[in-house]
């Protein structure tokens, strides 16, 4: 049985004081819920403060991005080791906004995924198609390309530390959500791809999240889909009451 994971991506929101306030509210509202894994990913400047605010709770902390080198003259970047020592257990890799706004390639996502694993972090590797690609019936081709190349050369025994997130680009920040049927088809395709590329056992055990305008009023529909194991939440994770309602669905 795959254990659900609910991850909140705070993106470029919340000053340090705002981040601590939100973390404390979440700690009070959902900090003791044991039926699932919970995670928040604040901006890097807030990670330590949020981690401290969440101490003695079951809510974990992750990063939103990383660079693949351990250290060096890479102004503005953050290393896997920095995230690890700051208290992160997870890191988002290849989010659609990184791919489409900052030009990240599958090869760069692969390097970041490898670096995260080497540092003892669990990468949440994001894949997904644009609206144009979906309308041209390219969804499966895009998912195949992004998954295989983003995870190229990574041994099967490391997949227990990898989370995959399907996030249709056309549903992120738009208020549009993939229907359960659309999400289910994509998740089933991803799981079958893992089956064909690796093994049935790996595919069956792989955590695959859905991300794209997830809200309290659609979490039940999404989680009725057999191959959806949790959600990567954007805007709704910035409000304690909304994120708490999503998490409490699993109680």
- Given 85, 167, 188, 204, which residue is catalytic? 167
Q: Are 44 and 13 in contact (CB under 8 A)?
A: no
132 counts as catalytic: no
Distance in angstroms (rounded) separating the CA atoms of residues 87 and 228: 27
H helix count then E strand count, the chain: 11, 8
Buried b (16+ CB within 10 A) or exposed e, 59-91: bbbbbbbbbbeeeeeeeeebbbbbbbebbbbbb
Find all residues with CB under 8 Å of 110, minimum gap 6, and list them. Answer: 149, 150, 151, 152, 153, 154
95 counts as catalytic: yes
Q: Which of 83, 76, 167 has its CA nearest to residue 122? A: 83
**How does DSSP assign 169-189, residue by residue?**
GGGSSSS----HHHHHHHHHH
Distance in angstroms (rounded) separating the CA atoms of residues 156 and 160: 8
- Given 95, 104, 108, 129, which residue is catalytic? 95
Catalytic residues: 95, 167
């Amino acid at each position: 049985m795959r254990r659900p994971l609910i991850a909140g991506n705070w993106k470029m929101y919340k000053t340090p004081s705002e981040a601590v306030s939100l973390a404390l509210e979440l700690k009070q509202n959902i900090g003791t819920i044991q039926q699932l894994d919970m995670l928040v990913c604040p901006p890097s400047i807030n990670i330590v403060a949020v981690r401290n605010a969440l101490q003695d709770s079951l809510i974990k902390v992750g990063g939103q991005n990383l660079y693949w080198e351990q250290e060096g003259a890479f102004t503005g970047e953050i290393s896997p080791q920095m995230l690890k020592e700051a208290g992160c257990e997870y890191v988002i890799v290849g989010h659609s906004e990184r791919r489409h706004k900052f030009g990240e390639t599958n090869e760069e996502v692969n390097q970041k995924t490898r670096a995260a694993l080497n540092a003892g972090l669990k990468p949440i590797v994001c894949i997904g198609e644009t609206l144009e690609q979906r309308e041209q019936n390219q969804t499966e081709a895009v998912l195949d390309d992004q998954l295989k190349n983003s995870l190229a050369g990574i041994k099967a025994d490391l997949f227990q530390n990898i989370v995959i997130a399907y996030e249709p680009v056309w549903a992120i920040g738009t208020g549009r959500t993939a229907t359960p049927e659309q999400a289910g088809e994509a998740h089933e395709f991803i799981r079958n791809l893992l089956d064909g590329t690796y093994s049935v056992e790996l595919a069956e055990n792989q955590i695959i999240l859905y991300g794209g305008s997830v809200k309290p009023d659609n979490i039940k529909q999404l989680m009725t889909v057999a191959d959806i194991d949790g959600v990567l939440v954007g805007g709704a994770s910035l409000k304690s009451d909304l994120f708490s309602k999503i998490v409490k669905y699993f109680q």
